[in-house]
Amino acid sequence: MSGHSKWATTKHKKAAIDAKRGKLFAKMIKDIEVAARSGGGDPAGNPTLETMIMKAKKASVPNDNIERARRRGSGEEAGGANWESVMYEGYGPNGVAVLIECLTDNRNRAATEVRTAMSKNGGNLGESGSVGYMFSRTGVVTVEKGDLSEDDVLMAVLEAGAEEVNDLGSVFEVICAPTDLIAVRDVLTAEGMSVEDADQEFRASVEVELDVDGARKMERLIDALEESDDVQNVYTNMTVSDEVAAQLED
């Protein structure tokens, strides 16, 4: 897991300083709108909306944009799109399983863009269920390490439902069931720990370890998929060793 997690951390850092900042903002705005529509526009009574707003603020999305998205989603302001969640499944190079989560107002456009990105980068789309069985939805909370030890974090969150704590270098990653995500986050915050992120992800039960060449091919595929405005998240079952991760950063 550590290799995969470090890869994810590397990708996250890249995205934050990348020219894709505008795309990242757009995806976060969409998440806020959808969360407000499905659970109401009051963050105090809608933990998903509260989490999405927190993430957007951490990424420096302007407050005006966040508030407008919340209002559009809750119906307080006109103009919200009818976003629909669609999941595509398939394989990338080296038999890596890929889940592509889309939020779109045009299913045909989303399908075309995903299929094009896959076929041009050594991947191919599969039927629904072709790889989904390898993945399960997981709650993931990231905590800034500071002076904390792994035991400090684990002891704080065990009763809230945390399943494991992973050391990712500068941060700890707390794994839990999606239903325990908010409870785990709130306990960490109450203990004075700095929560960097709290979200649901898909994690694979079976992983494929890649060499540098394979990892670069997958990186190109993921980048191509994320170019689409309809694609919110890309999940894979790839993992890389620390040595390969270091070479990818060069």
pLDDT classification of 6: cutoffs 50, 70, 90: very low
CATH number, domain containing residue 36: 1.10.10.200
Which among 10, 7, 5, 61 has a CA at the least distance from the CA of 32? 61
Residues 101 and 219 in one domain: yes
CB atoms within 10 A of CB 89: 19
| Domain's final residue, options 28, 50, 74 | 74
The number of domains in the chain is: 3
Residues 51 and 161 in one domain: no
Residues 110 and 198 in one domain: no
Residues 16 and 70 in one domain: yes
Residues 116 and 139 in one domain: no
Residues 7 and 68 in one domain: yes
Residues 163 and 226 in one domain: no
Whether residue 79 lies inside any domain: the answer is no
Residues 223 and 170 in one domain: no
Percent of the chain exceeding pLDDT 90 equals 53
Residues 6 and 70 in one domain: yes
Residues 103 and 217 in one domain: yes
Mean pLDDT of 112-130: 94
Residues 97 and 142 in one domain: no
Whether residue 98 lies inside any domain: the answer is yes
Q: Which of 2-16, 42-56, 135-149, 168-182 has the lowest mean pLDDT?
A: 2-16
CATH number, domain containing residue 161: 3.30.70.980
| Domain's final residue, options 50, 74, 98 | 74
Position 240 scores a pLDDT of 87
Residues 127 and 232 in one domain: yes
Please give the residue range of the domain that contains residue 153: 135-204
Position 77 scores a pLDDT of 83
Position 1 scores a pLDDT of 36
pLDDT by residue (tens digit) across 71-113?
Answer: 999 988 887 778 889 999 999 999 999 999 999 999 999 999 9
Whether residue 224 lies inside any domain: the answer is yes
Position 33 scores a pLDDT of 93
